[in-house]
Structure 1
Amino acid sequence: MKKYLYLVLALIAVHACQQKPQLPDTLPFKVAKAYGIENFDQVNSIAYTWNVQRDSVNVVSRDWKWNVKDSTVYYSGPDTTFTYSLTADSLPKQDGAFINDKYWAMMPFQLAWDSGYTHEITENVPSPLKGTNSTKLTIIYNSGEPKSPGMGYTPGDAYDLYLDENHMILEWTFRRGNGAEGRTWTWENVNQFGPIKLAQDHMGPDGKRFIWLSNVKVE
């Protein structure tokens, strides 16, 4: 009986050690939770094609596969195809495109991963494009050297995220250098991919699709 009790206690201790750390109860983390950040440890890789409508005719596409567990990235674009390590001392120029495209794909998770920003909250704000009543979450990245921890490639920039009551992004505005004016796009066509959610379509003020994700696969 005593041995059985010790076994039960040991199993409880192991389970307690394996419990996920509790995330902060702030609005940026609530957004990350809405898209499944608490399940991200189940993700081994994320693959997608990032597409942008440059003009009425031309579409630029880039294929990515981020192997989360071993920190490698596969890239295929109009210029070349290769795989590189995110932990390498020297990163290829395409890493800037990877970061850019990852923010379009995974901005909700960046709110949990990034540390070099401040945030402001304004309630009952009409979203710029559709006028939907929303909570405006402004993310302002710290100024400093590019690629400093938690700051990405564009320090000092700001994002206004317009959220619904479930902390899902309706629209976002990008403001370079935290300037007064910016450009706004929608966040639409949210789908479940394995343990996480991703928005696949981003429409501009004209209602036309500007950026979209295709060939999405989460393993």
Structure 2
Amino acid sequence: MMKKLLLLALVILTAVNCKKNAEKTITETSSEKEISVLEKIANAHGFKNWSKIEKLNYTFNVDRDSSHFERSWQWQPQKEKVKMLSAKDTVAYVRKEIDSLQQKADQAFINDKYWLLFPFQLVWDQSFEHVVKENVKAPISEKPMTEITIAYDNEDGYTPGDTYKIYIDKDFIIREWSYIASGNKEPNLSTTWENYQTYNGLKIATTHQNKEGSFKLYFTNIKVE
């Protein structure tokens, strides 16, 4: 549950430097149609292959104006083992057994994992409501897409109450998204989802950029076993 962890990434970087026919709205209920939308997004990104994955390594990079930030991860999801490697520190832990000293690393892990595998969080997470709108202008390309608003509750996770708006194409692939911190009405950040690559069946967007080009988040050294 990422919530304000995206904002945390930006803070770290700063520190180191209605027409009814035109738009259809669906609110969260127990309907099979809504659930299938989220499952279709996850499956379009390779979720059915997740159970086969034993190791996932990657480097999380952010370029913001003239600054660069990165940290690398070694993750064994079936065993819940995580190792973070950064310029300042190396931290290894088991997610079910984290202590107060490891919690900061785990917050960073959740942040970076949401950027990497948010389509899977749509079926992993339970603590949100969602609304689907069709034919909505995407924030960067301004192309009409299906918008799904993911609003997390105010109780669970490190930073509860945050909202995401994802924009999917006809194949249920995420092409853009916006992050709205808890308490805000307008997006704190909107970026692309692009440069998709497939690793052992996982379809991953390796690059995310804002409209102005001043912010670029991308993944390197991806290895999936």
Contact in 2 for aligned 1:71/1:86 (Cα 8 Å): yes
Instruction: Supply the AA of the counterpart residue of 2:219.
Output: L
Is the counterpart of residue 157 in structure 1 residue 166 in structure 2? no
Q: Secondary structure at the match of 1:130?
A: coil
Is the counterpart of residue 196 in structure 1 residue 202 in structure 2? yes
Aligned twin of 2:136: 125
Taking the aligned partners of 1:27 and 1:179, their CA distance within structure 2 comes to 26
Higher relative contact order (CA 8 A, sep 6+): 2
Counterpart selection for 2:219 from 207, 213, 218:
213
Once the two structures are superposed, residues 188-213 of structure 1 have per-residue CA deviations (whole angstroms, 9 ceiling, x without a partner) of 01110002111000011113551000
Aligned twin of 1:41: 51
Q: Secondary structure at the match of 1:111?
A: helix
Once the two structures are superposed, residues 8-41 of structure 1 have per-residue CA deviations (whole angstroms, 9 ceiling, x without a partner) of xxxxxxxxxxxxxxxx842122111110111110
Taking the aligned partners of 2:196 and 2:160, their CA distance within structure 1 comes to 28
Once the two structures are superposed, residues 95-141 of structure 1 have per-residue CA deviations (whole angstroms, 9 ceiling, x without a partner) of 11100000000100111110000000000011111111100000000
Q: Secondary structure at the match of 1:216?
A: strand
Instruction: Supply the AA of the counterpart residue of 2:72.
Output: D
Contact in 2 for aligned 1:42/1:195 (Cα 8 Å): no
Q: How does 1:151-190 map to 2 (within 5 A)?
A: 152-177=157-182, 179-182=184-187, 183-190=189-196
Q: Secondary structure at the match of 1:39?
A: helix
Contact in 1 for aligned 2:192/2:210 (Cα 8 Å): yes
Contact in 1 for aligned 2:55/2:77 (Cα 8 Å): yes
Taking the aligned partners of 1:109 and 1:157, their CA distance within structure 2 comes to 17
**Which sections of structure 1, spanning at least 5 residues, go unmatched?**
1-23
Q: How does 1:1-219 map to 2 (within 5 A)?
A: 25-56=35-66, 58-90=67-99, 92=102, 93-144=104-155, 148=156, 152-177=157-182, 179-182=184-187, 183-207=189-213, 210-219=216-225
Q: Secondary structure at the match of 2:203?
A: strand
Taking the aligned partners of 2:192 and 2:219, their CA distance within structure 1 comes to 13
Aligned twin of 2:6: none
TM value normalised by structure 1 = 0.82
Taking the aligned partners of 2:53 and 2:94, their CA distance within structure 1 comes to 18
> 4+ runs of 1 displaced by more than 2 Å?
none
Taking the aligned partners of 1:43 and 1:102, their CA distance within structure 2 comes to 15
Q: What count of residue pairs does the alignment treat as equivalent?
A: 189
Once the two structures are superposed, residues 149-168 of structure 1 have per-residue CA deviations (whole angstroms, 9 ceiling, x without a partner) of xxx32211000001100111
Taking the aligned partners of 1:196 and 1:101, their CA distance within structure 2 comes to 16
Contact in 1 for aligned 2:58/2:219 (Cα 8 Å): yes
Question: Is 182-191 or 206-215 further displaced after alignment?
Answer: 206-215
Percent identical pairs in the alignment equals: 36
Contact in 2 for aligned 1:35/1:168 (Cα 8 Å): yes
CA RMSD of aligned residues (A): 1.4
Query: Bigger radius of gyration, 1 or 2?
Result: 1
**Which sections of structure 2, spanning at least 5 residues, go unmatched?**
1-33
TM superposition shift of 1:65: 1.2
